[in-house]
Amino acid sequence: MTELLFRDDAYQTAADCRVIGHTSEGGIVVDRSVFYATSGGQPGDSGMLDWGGTRMPIATALKVADGIALVPAEPMPMPPLGTPARQLIDWGRRHRHMRVHTALHLLSVVIPLPVTGGQIAADKGRLDFDMPEPPGDVAALEEALNSLIARDLTVSDDWITDAELLANPGLVKTMSVRPPMGQGRVRLVRITDGATQVDLQPCGGTHVRRTGEIGRIEIGKVENKGRQNRRVTITLA
């Protein structure tokens, strides 16, 4: 299985690895990865894979049975099994994903309703809420969100067992995307102001270390996506 380097350090941009497999779709399975693999509404990272004088552009990374597969951006000869290689992610794109993802955690704080879906991009993101009525004052929500960001809150992670999560279902805010379980433990992302906890929820994505890195956020129009489903989109200002 692939060692998930991005999970231990979302700021790591490069790492050595070894090719341990090929997928039938043309992906390259590596033994350790700084590339985040598409999941939970967050896109996989793009970047480069270098080996033996060859540089291969990587379009994205995907979860596969053996771990993580890097997907070439264009047809090229594949590195043989056992080949040592060097990975380098597109840090600018990754960091924007981290900023948007962390901002969405805070959006779920200022709108404390069940989340029915979500999506992250390099310049914007959205959450769908179980929200029968539209919010009365979007400008007030935007100000509340940016006030949280400006407090430069600390973002950290911790781990609990699958059994502990099952015993505390209130930690799960998302109705459509379940936390990554089955490995015996689940990662929790915690946002705090000193001793005061602002948010705590299971999440396998990448986040900034402090909310001040997010910068100012703008909330777009709230879209009606069903009888009780409303979509709230945010963009990096």
pLDDT in tens, 140-160: 999 999 999 999 999 999 887
* Per-residue model confidence as pLDDT tens digits over 71-115: 999 999 999 999 999 999 999 999 999 999 999 999 999 999 999
Mean predicted lDDT score pLDDT of the chain: 92
Task: Answer for the pair 33, 17: CB distance below 8 angstroms, yes or no.
Answer: yes
Q: What is the pLDDT of residue 58?
A: 98
Q: What is the pLDDT of residue 160?
A: 79
21 or 171, which is more confident? Answer: 21
Give all domains of the chain, ordered by start, each with its CATH number.
3-89 (2.40.30.130), 94-236 (3.30.980.10)
183 pLDDT above the threshold of 80: no
> pLDDT band for position 42 (50/70/90)?
very high
For residues 176 and 73, give the distance between their C-alpha atoms in angstroms, rounded to a whole number. 30
Q: What is the pLDDT of residue 22?
A: 97
> pLDDT band for position 164 (50/70/90)?
confident
Q: What is the pLDDT of residue 180?
A: 60
Calculate mean pLDDT across residues 4-23.
97
Q: What is the pTM of this model?
A: 0.92
Q: What is the pLDDT of residue 195?
A: 83
> pLDDT band for position 162 (50/70/90)?
confident
Among 108, 106, 117, which residue's Cα sits nearest to residue 213? 106
Task: Answer for the pair 12, 33: CB distance below 8 angstroms, yes or no.
Answer: no
Task: Answer for the pair 181, 40: CB distance below 8 angstroms, yes or no.
Answer: no
Q: What is the pLDDT of residue 151?
A: 97
* Beta strands per DSSP E along the chain: 3-4, 14-22, 28-30, 32-33, 47-51, 54-64, 67-72, 84-89, 115-120, 124-130, 154-161, 185-193, 196-202, 217-224, 229-236
